[in-house]
Amino acid sequence: MARQLIVAVFGNADTARRAANDFDALSEKHEGFHIDNGVAVEKDAAGKLAVLDAEAPPFKGGLIGAIAGGLLGMLAGPLGVATGMAAGAGFGTVADAAGHALLDGRFVESVATQLVPGSAAVILEAEEATPFSVDNVVTGFGGKVVRHALG
């Protein structure tokens, strides 16, 4: 299976939460898709990112992987992540450095363009055999998905 950074962007936080539950269900089936780390975020009217439901499935424990954390850092800037949940969830300079090293500017720009104020995203570090199942969830909720191969 290919290891991917998957960013699914939705119109609002409620839709992102429902999609996250579906991603969790897909991962638990063990049929070609497995979530290693994940985080759901919402961009508020001021452009700040807030971590959603750090203790809800599929993100229990709130651990944000280094790559997803790095992407958040690039999207939000040094002061752009709202609340202390992000710091407590493993977000920090190590994650930021890892993200900068592995993510190209076009990928980050693509995500930044789609993640407009009022929208929400589910960011997953996952292994997937084929994009079909994830794409079905995303399109079923009216979202858009962007992937970046992690090697």
Cα dihedral 96→101→106→112 (10° resolution): -10
Task: List the pLDDT tens digit at each of the 151 positions of the chain.
Answer: 898 889 999 999 999 999 999 999 999 998 999 998 888 888 888 888 888 865 555 564 444 555 666 676 666 664 444 433 344 444 443 344 344 445 667 777 778 888 899 999 998 889 999 999 999 999 999 999 999 888 7
At residue 94, φ and ψ (nearest 5 deg) are -65, -45
The pTM for the full model equals 0.78
